[in-house]
Amino acid sequence: MTSSAGTTIVIGAGIIGTAIAHDLQKRGRRVVLVDRDAPGKGASFGNMASIAVTEFMPASRPSVWRQIPGWMLDPEGPVRIRPSYMPRLVPWFLRFIAASRPSKLRALEAQGAALCARSLNDTLELLGDVGLKDQISDEGCLSLYTDEAEFKADRDHIEILERFGFPHEVIGRQAIKALEPELSDKIGLAVLFPQNRSMKDPYKLVLALADRFTALGGRIERGEVTGFVRGEGIRGVVLKDGRQLAADEVVICAGAFSARLAAMLDEPIPLETERGYHTQIMAPGILMKHSIIWPARAFMVTPTAGGIRVGGTVEMAGLDAAPDYRRSKVTVKRAKEALPNLECRECTEWMGHRPALPDTVPILSASARTRGLFYATGHGHLGLTYAATTARLMGDLITGMKPPVDLTPYRINRF
């Protein structure tokens, strides 16, 4: 085993791992960032690029899960569960239902809001650190509704935002057209979320963090972690090629794959993958400034540096099944309802694994079993949104400082 006293190993060079590694290195730690792939090739590569500070609502709230049976019967519905995967999903789904009790929902909303309240400022600060301040849009996100009835169905979302004081503005058809002339006349109402700004390219942020991390003296090691060395506490990691890397601290941020690593450490976590798809349209034939979401159609469109990105939907099929790109085609079809002039020329399709916990809030925690071991995972639909805040909070936790947010609700042994 290589001798590396005082070293912290961060496993996973997605947006969460690179942000944490960068934060710790900045604080003077000796950090090794380990990934089986090049940085940013997981879920962080192709997400919808939104700093989605108003989207922290638990997925287990009744207005969402009551629709799941209907969605399941619709092959083009926003949630698909592959039949062969259903038995594997039962324990996760039971926990999801348990997270829908009203008192539990109130607590989960507060936990999401506590992270989102910091998120935009923390992100702007991080962008400043890595020289990417010009890579975030000035415009926010428009949430679309055909009419009052559709808006009412999403009313609980807006009420939660009102309760926590997140700014938003309800606008009518004329104002919508003034902001985004390409939107269809079908859209009668929208809510503008001014803080939900978007990155021109979220992958570029991971690369910039990795570059800054190495410039500060951090080391990136390519290799798949297949085991751990443990003594009284964590001692290091074992790589697939047989190498062992010594460490005093290990941070697991392997996205949706974190559950496999946690299981090796006898600390199982109910983490699933909510697979999501995007279509990147390099020649869309239209120009947009704002990102848009249409809750009733469950898709999102974001203007990015490389054209327009259309994405969304949830597919539960595990980590190993091949992508089903019919999901991306359905999303583009839906997007054309909102943007009738959208053309799908020069397109690429992509699938990524959202690391999803049944109660929607991430794990930001020291291990409950092994000294020196930490977890930052389960960021679900909001990994980009939460990354800068996660790095700040985990940096405090790992270096023994008091984090500005009480991390008790995000502990690993809450399930």
Contact residues for ligand FAD (CB under 6 A)?
A: 11-17, 34-37, 41-44, 47-50, 52, 224-225, 253-255, 257, 261, 276-278, 311, 352-355, 377, 379-385
Nearer to ligand FAD, 311 or 372 (CB): 311
Nearer to ligand FAD, 224 or 343 (CB): 224
Nearer to ligand FAD, 43 or 132 (CB): 43
CA angle 151, 71, 160 (to 5 degrees): 35
Nearer to ligand FAD, 43 or 317 (CB): 43
Give least dist CB 147 to ligand FAD, A. Answer: 26
Give least dist CB 43 to ligand FAD, A. Answer: 4
Question: What does the alpha-carbon distance between residue 39 and residue 44 come to, in Å, rounded to a whole number?
Answer: 9
Give least dist CB 357 to ligand FAD, A. Answer: 11
Nearer to ligand FAD, 186 or 353 (CB): 353
Nearest to 4 by CA among 266, 243, 258, 263: 243
Give least dist CB 10 to ligand FAD, A. Answer: 10
Nearer to ligand FAD, 259 or 339 (CB): 259
Give least dist CB 283 to ligand FAD, A. Answer: 21
Give least dist CB 237 to ligand FAD, A. Answer: 8
